[in-house]
Structure formats: C-alpha cells, structure tokens
Amino acid sequence: MLRINLRSKSLVLKYSAIALLLSTVANAEDVQIGRVRDLVQENETLYESIEFNGRYEYLAGPNSGHGGLSKENTKTTKSSTSKLHHVSSGKMYRIDQEYQSVMKEGGETYSYRRTKMYDGSQTRMLKETEYANVIKGYSGDSNYIYPHMTLMRGPFYYMRLSTLLSGSEVLSDASDANWDDSISVEYSVNPDEVVYKGLPCVRLSIFMSNRSKPAMIRNVWLAKERNYIPCKYEAFYLKISKDTPVEIGTVDEWIELEPGIWFPKTTSVTAYSPFLLTSNGDKKVQWTKRYSFEDISLSPKYPKSYFQDMQIPDGLPIHEIDKGQIIQSYRKNSLDDPDRK
C-alpha cells in the first residue's frame, strides 16, 4: 500500500511556490533594470560628440582623516582644482587638464598639465615635464566626463552609467570600469514614480557586495525630463549606517543645449566622515566636490590630427604600452627613439 506523507508534500509545494515567487520577482527586476538601462544608453548616445570646458573643485573638510579620530587626523585639509577642456567626436577623444592642489597645513602646492587623446586606434598621454605614454588600442581616462555619471564619477568610477547598470561580468570586462572582481552588484527599481525638485524620476538602487558581503547601497534619481541623467544621488556604507547617507549629490543647475537635450551645468557632492558617524552619530563634512561647465557644444569640429598630435619635449621619457605592459621605453629624440628626426 502506497503511503503519502501529506505534510512533507505540503512543505515541498510551499517551498516550490516560494522559489517560483522569488524567481518571478528576480526576473521582473531584471526586466525593469534592463528597460531603465536601455533608456539610459539611448540617451547617452546624444552626447557622444561634445565639447566643453569644465572646472572640478575638491575641498577636504576638517574631518578628512584617514582613520581614527585623533587631532592629527581630523585637522588635515586639502583643496584641489582641475580645469578641463574635453572634446569627444564619435570614438575619438582628447582631454587637456590643468591641475593644482594645495595642502592647507604648510601651504605646499603641486601642479601639472596633462593631455590624453585617442584617435580610434591608439591612445597617447602626456604629463608635461614627467613622461609620455603611447598605448596600443583604447585606454579610458579618469577625467573623461559622461553627463550621466557626473554625480558618481571618481578615480574608480569613470565608466558610462549604462555600463554600471549592466552587471558584474560586464563591469569586469569594461576597459573604463577599473572594476574590482571581488565586488558584485545587484539592482532594484522603485515601481513608483518619484519627484525631486519638480522633476519626475525613476529611482533605482545599486547594491554592492564585497566578497558576497553586503557593503554599499547607491540610490540614484534619474530625471525623465532631463535625458535620464541623475539629478540626485545617495550612498550608504552598510557597516556604518543603513539610514544615514555618507554621500549626497545633486545637480544644482541645468542647461538645455538643444531642444530636449539637457546637461548638468553645475553639480555638487558632499561626503560625511564615516569615522564620526560610527563613533557618535555626528554628521560632519569630510569633503565636497563641485563641477561646473561652460562653452558646451554638441557639434565639435576638429580634424583627426587634433586627436593624434602630441608635442613631446626632447629628452622626455616615452613608454610604449600594450595590454597594460610596458614593451619599450626611450627618451624623445634619443638614439633609441624610433621616430627620431
């Protein structure tokens, strides 16, 4: 006689239903983030050819120590300014940078000029008075500014927003992502439309885990009437607080370049000291970042030579690089220089 354990069968059906529900929810999330990513990517193409002058200002606050709460750590401050001239034309780009930093204690300064360009097949980079690199193929640049990433960009985040929304595998392979393979990402899209400063927005969350341990949440408000460019951004470090953001960024001023094509003219991001938040819940400024842009054009007109010609001073070290490895080094116009005149 066949006996059926109804309780066991009930449990199996119950957990199967839960698994199916979770799978359905996950698939729905994938569809939602896919639609949002497609909208972002479609609007990113509007800015593939663009020219502007940009100014980046960084100011570290009195609570910008590198660990701990000693006076020595919490009193160190620093400011820096970068002036950028950015031109991108299809796949080609050129970025000219003037950088200066000031240490408030002692007043030491550091400055340099830097140019990086890509002509569709080769990347060249010149840091005046120091060295030049000639790189086979495409190499991205931390000073490359995508309008959709203005609030979140930094030394390790200079990829396109659509790339950031494409998952861990794509990020690992993306040349602009500078991605750590120990970090994995997941996404969630708020099904309800939200409004920020009068702008209807899609709000999405980017969940980042480090070696499978939840580490950070980035909440982003994509402004529908501003080409899905983020108009607000918050970051939460989960080991510090799930409720108090350690970074908050906003677009402070917009400019309409052409009918229906918008650009974030000024933006600001403020970070708060995670050490003070951890110790006593105080919200003290750690640093602020501000971008401002002018002379913006969607119709730059430059010959290909503009993305190729790099004036390297005689005697400056030149490194030829392929796949991240230096394959040859010499000095400009030395006997070893293959282009010596």
Buried b (16+ CB within 10 A) or exposed e, 104-117: eeeeeeeeeebbbb
What is the greatest pairwise CA distance in the chain? 97
On the CB side of 82, CA atoms within 13 Å amount to 20
pLDDT reading at 272 higher than 70: yes
Say if residues 37 and 165 touch (Cβ distance below 8 Å): yes
Buried b (16+ CB within 10 A) or exposed e, 284-293: eebbebbbbb
pTM, two decimals, is 0.85
pLDDT at residue 108, rounded to an integer: 83
10 Å Cβ neighbour count for 83?
Answer: 14
CATH class of the domain at 25-310: mainly beta
Which region, left, alpha or beta, applies to residue 180 given φ > 0 means left and ψ of -120 to 50 means alpha? beta
What is the Cα–Cα distance from 239 to 216, expressed in whole angstroms? 8
Task: Quick: pLDDT tens for 141-169.
Answer: 989 999 999 999 876 678 999 999 999 99
Sequence-ordered list of residues with C-beta below 8 angstroms from that of 260, at least 6 positions apart, any chain: 227
pLDDT reading at 15 higher than 50: no
Provide the 8-state DSSP code for 91.
T
Name residue 194's beta-bridge partners.
Answer: 201
Torsions phi, psi for 163 (to 5 deg): -70, -45
Sequence-ordered list of residues with C-beta below 8 angstroms from that of 146, at least 6 positions apart, any chain: 44, 47, 153, 158, 159, 160, 161
- 132, 133, 134, 139 alpha-carbon torsion, rounded to 10°: -140
At residue 313, what is the residue type?
P
- Give 279's pLDDT tier (boundaries 50, 70, 90): low
Task: Quick: pLDDT tens for 199-220.
Answer: 999 999 999 999 889 899 999 9
pLDDT reading at 241 higher than 90: no
pLDDT reading at 271 higher than 50: yes
pLDDT reading at 322 higher than 90: yes
What is the Cα–Cα distance from 140 to 153, expressed in whole angstroms? 13
pLDDT reading at 334 higher than 70: yes
